[in-house]
Amino acid sequence: MKKVFVLGGTGFLGYYTIKELLARGYQVKTMALPPLPEADLLPAEVSCTLGDIMALSDAEIKAVLSDCQGFIYAAGADERTIPEKPAMKFFYEANVLPTQRLARLAKQAGVTSFVVFGSYFAEFAERFPHYHLQRQAYPAMRLLQEQIAFAEGEGSMRVMSLRLPYIFGTMPGRMPLWKMFSDQIKGQAVYPALKGGTAMVTVEQVAEAAVGALENGTHRSTYAISALNMKYQQFYQMIVQALGQTKTTQIPVVDYAEMLPVYEEIDQQAAAAGLEHGIHMTVSAKLQTEDLYLNPADTMDRLGIKAHDVIASIKETLAKCTEEEMK
């Protein structure tokens, strides 16, 4: 495998994946939506086209992929998007249909390895069946995205899915998505946390996992990667520290029942506005009473994920999110 196509190579995950591919000696081709977040973002040796790949004809897409042996799908909509109702339709059209078309055309073009960037909500939909996450639009369509991509690869193309948890890091020209959390906590005297926790990785580890899956992944495999597990309270306290609010903001752990009316109101407000969360807030919050933890040992050696300082990456990310407040 000498050349890899990265869809979404100017985005956060795609950018680091391209860096990892280049470091391992691959040639890289990418296509991403304009504009570039920063001029000269990618090295000159990367073949970068700005545009919507889905606007191309089948023949044009196959021509783009004709000299590539690998494909990394670093695009799509995540659960932070709040679309118009029904959310199931939105996530189907945003994540499932493009993946199906591109996987089919990639195989026809001679691509032999295809990696999809998915979500750890697909993992916990399987681990926690009592939450019925298959009825929630976002995890349901992430699961369907995987299965359709696997099916399209049958016969001659290995297809693997990375189930990604909380991801930290920074890149040129883009503000980390975690700024939405720091904005919510900024100036608050109290910011409650539920009792659970989450798995975390650095963006460099995502890139390492992607290339590891591309090289050594088994067809139809899903890899739920992690490097560190952390309680939500501890994470929020790190945001408080980054904001310089350690003396003014408390992060108490509260019961779900105490917060339920708040989440019900958020869902009701979304519905009244014609919108729908990919995971209803009442369900999303209930999940936060669980430890959504993953075992790093399950994937690190298998995919060649290196040990990185996740805490340092979180601090760097939050420093970027709060740099204006700290001036």
Instruction: Give, rounded to a whole angstrom, the gap between the first and last alpha carbons of the chain.
Output: 47
- Calculate what percentage of the chain has a pLDDT beyond 90: 98
pLDDT at 165: 98
Confidence grade of residue 326 (pLDDT, cut at 50, 70, 90): low
Confidence grade of residue 18 (pLDDT, cut at 50, 70, 90): very high
For the residues 110-123, what does the mean pLDDT come to?
A: 98
**DSSP labels, 52-78:** -GGGS-HHHHHHHHTT-SEEEE-----
| Burial group, residue 283, by CB count within 10 angstroms (0-12, 13-18, 19+) | middle
- The pLDDT tens digits of the residues spanning 232-253 come to 999 999 999 999 999 999 999 9
- The pLDDT tens digits of the residues spanning 191-209 come to 999 999 999 999 999 999 9
pLDDT at 198: 98
Tokens representing residue 219 in the block: 């067809």
* pLDDT above 70 (res 327): no
- The pLDDT tens digits of the residues spanning 129-168 come to 999 999 999 999 999 999 999 999 999 999 999 999 999 9
Encode burial over 86-116: b for 16+ CB neighbours within 10 A, e otherwise. Answer: ebbebbbebbbebbbbbbbbbbbbebbbbbb
CA distance 228 to 245: 25
Tokens representing residue 244 in the block: 């310089």
Average pLDDT, the chain: 97
* pLDDT above 80 (res 325): no
16: CB partners within 8 A, 6+ apart: 169, 171, 203, 204, 206, 207
68: CB partners within 8 A, 6+ apart: 3, 4, 5, 29, 106, 109, 110, 111
- The pLDDT tens digits of the residues spanning 48-89 come to 999 999 999 999 999 999 999 999 999 999 999 999 999 999
pLDDT at 324: 74
- Calculate what percentage of the chain has a pLDDT beyond 70: 99
Domains of the chain by start residue, with CATH: 3-168+200-227+293-306 (3.40.50.720)
pTM exceeds 0.95, yes or no: yes
